[in-house]
């Protein structure tokens, strides 16, 4: 495929909502993202005991909810091994949706984002259905707000009797979304999960990649092996694009991915100095905001096709400045 055919507007993906300004994966966070101009809102998806998709970054809800303060759930605390890592805490698959709805979200990074912690205890854990309804409610007047769901730990969930793929496709189809033109991308770090989805739907799929390690389903030896021209060609057989860790992205990676016909949507652009390269820090406080707009501009100059950010408004501003050449 030629580079010309890949040209499409750069999309801004609100990573867990505006998670720099509100606790992640809450309706408040997604709503602010939409208000700030996000093209897509990103829910990470896990399943409840009664097979309802809810938005959490992981099924372990110990750190991002107030579950530990609920004595009625004290006996649900347990130890699990997920993708080879031991976790001690509370897990979505051990709760019905009705039970999860009695919990409230907590800020994941209270030391870096103390202002977000002021919202602790206020917001519910949202369902995918609620997120779809939110995106549709705001898709008016010619604007389309899309969703960019990530299946979290799909092999693990399949292994405990909660396979995700057909269930997710059914729910999206019920929302009227089952084609390549639907305002939806489905993303995963695993491979076989995406290949299964490719057989079930024409919705665009994104292969996530990290700078080290390998997919948890061991479908390929490493993420690095996926970034060779041959690796990209194999990914292009089932995916529309890739979602690489931004630390992996350079001009060569973008060119090789585009040559294979893959779009490039790196993650995750965050304003706090802590997450920025030293040259873009403002002052010395890791919590203070540095020059995120400049960082995003550097990546836009490399030819990326979209990006995940915790700060939608800064992403919108950087994209506009890039387009106008300022
Ligand atoms: O999905 C893109 C990015 O969110 C991947 O990392 O861990 O934030 O889900 P994570
Ligand atoms: Ca994600």
Q: What protein residues have CB closer than 5 angstroms to ion ligand 2? A: 44, 150
Contacts of 94 (CB under 8 A, 6+ apart): 49, 76, 78
pLDDT(154) > 50: yes
In this structure, which CATH number among 3.10.310.10, 3.40.309.10, 3.20.20.190, 3.30.390.30 belongs to the domain 11-57+108-324?
3.20.20.190
Q: Please tell me the predicted confidence (pLDDT) of residue 8.
A: 76
Tens of pLDDT along 221-238?
A: 999 999 999 999 999 999
Residue identifier of the C-alpha nearest atom 6 of ligand 1: 267
213: CA distance to ligand 1 center in Å? 15
Confidence class of residue 7 from pLDDT cuts 50, 70 and 90?
A: low
Contacts of 323 (CB under 8 A, 6+ apart): none
Q: Please tell me the predicted confidence (pLDDT) of residue 2.
A: 40
Tens of pLDDT along 45-61?
A: 999 999 999 999 999 99
Distances (CA, A) of 149 to 104, 205, 253, 269: 21, 10, 24, 18
pLDDT(3) > 50: no
Confidence class of residue 156 from pLDDT cuts 50, 70 and 90?
A: very high
pLDDT(161) > 90: yes
Could you tell me the residue ranges of all domains in the chain?
11-57+108-324
Residue identifier of the C-alpha nearest atom 1 of ligand 1: 150
Confidence class of residue 4 from pLDDT cuts 50, 70 and 90?
A: very low
Contacts of 165 (CB under 8 A, 6+ apart): 151, 154, 193, 196, 197, 200
**Mean pLDDT across the chain:** 97
Residue 280 is classified by DSSP as G
> Residue 208 and residue 239: Cα distance in Å, rounded?
10
> Residue 313 and residue 297: Cα distance in Å, rounded?
14
Index of the ligand 1 atom closest to the CA of residue 15: 4
pLDDT(115) > 50: yes
Q: Once rounded to an integer, what is the mean pLDDT over residues 181-200?
A: 98
Q: Exposed e or buried b for every residue in 246-264, given b needs 16+ CB within 10 A?
A: bebbeeebbebbbbbbbbb
> Residue 39 and residue 33: Cα distance in Å, rounded?
9
Residue identifier of the C-alpha nearest atom 2 of ligand 1: 267
Q: Answer for the pair 227, 256: CB distance below 8 angstroms, yes or no.
A: yes
Q: Please tell me the predicted confidence (pLDDT) of residue 6.
A: 60
SS3 296: helix
With a Cβ cut-off of 6 Å, ligand 1 is lined by 15, 44, 57, 150, 187, 208, 243, 267-268, 308
Q: How many CB atoms lie within 10 A of CB 301?
A: 10
Q: Is the peptide bond before 125 cis (omega within 30 degrees of 0)?
A: no
> Residue 250 and residue 241: Cα distance in Å, rounded?
16
**Structure-token match 């209270």, residue found:** 110
Q: Please tell me the predicted confidence (pLDDT) of residue 1.
A: 42
Q: What is the pTM of this model?
A: 0.97
**What token pair was written down for 311?**
């700060």
Distances (CA, A) of 51 to 154, 157, 162: 13, 10, 7
Index of the ligand 1 atom closest to the CA of residue 16: 4
């Amino acid at each position: 495929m030629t580079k010309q055919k890949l040209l499409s507007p750069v999309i801004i993906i609100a990573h867990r909502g505006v998670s720099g300004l509100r606790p992640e994966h809450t309706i408040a966070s997604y709503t602010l993202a939409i208000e700030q101009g996000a093209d897509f809102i990103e829910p990470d998806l896990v399943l409840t005991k009664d097979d309802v998709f809810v938005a959490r970054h992981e099924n372990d809800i110990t750190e991002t909810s107030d579950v530990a303060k609920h004595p009625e759930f004290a006996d649900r605390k347990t130890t699990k091994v997920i993708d080879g890592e031991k976790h001690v805490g509370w897990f979505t698959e051990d709760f019905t949706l009705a039970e999860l709805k009695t919990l409230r979200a907590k800020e994941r990074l209270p030391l870096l984002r103390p202002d977000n912690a002021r919202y602790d205890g206020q917001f519910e854990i949202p369902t995918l259905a609620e997120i779809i309804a939110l995106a549709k409610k705001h898709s008016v007047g010619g604007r389309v707000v899309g969703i960019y769901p990530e299946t979290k730990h799909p092999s693990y969930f399949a292994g405990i009797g909660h396979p995700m793929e057909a269930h997710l496709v059914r729910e999206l189809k019920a929302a009227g979304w089952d084609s390549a033109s639907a305002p939806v991308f489905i993303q995963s770090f695993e491979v076989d999960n995406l290949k299964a989805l490719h057989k079930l739907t024409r919705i665009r799929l994104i292969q996530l990649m990290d700078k080290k390690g390998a997919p948890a389903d061991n479908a390929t030896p490493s993420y690095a092996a996926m970034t060779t021209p041959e690796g990209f060609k194999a990914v292009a057989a089932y995916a529309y694009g890739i979602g690489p860790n931004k630390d992996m992205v350079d001009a060569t990676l973008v060119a090789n991915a585009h040559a294979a016909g893959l779009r490039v949507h790196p993650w995750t652009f965050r304003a706090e100095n802590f997450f920025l390269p030293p040259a873009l820090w403002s002052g010395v406080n890791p919590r203070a905001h540095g020059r995120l707009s400049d960082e995003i501009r550097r990546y836009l100059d490399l030819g990326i096709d979209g990006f995940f950010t915790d700060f939608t408004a800064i992403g919108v501003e950087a994209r506009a400045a890039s387009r106008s050449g300022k």
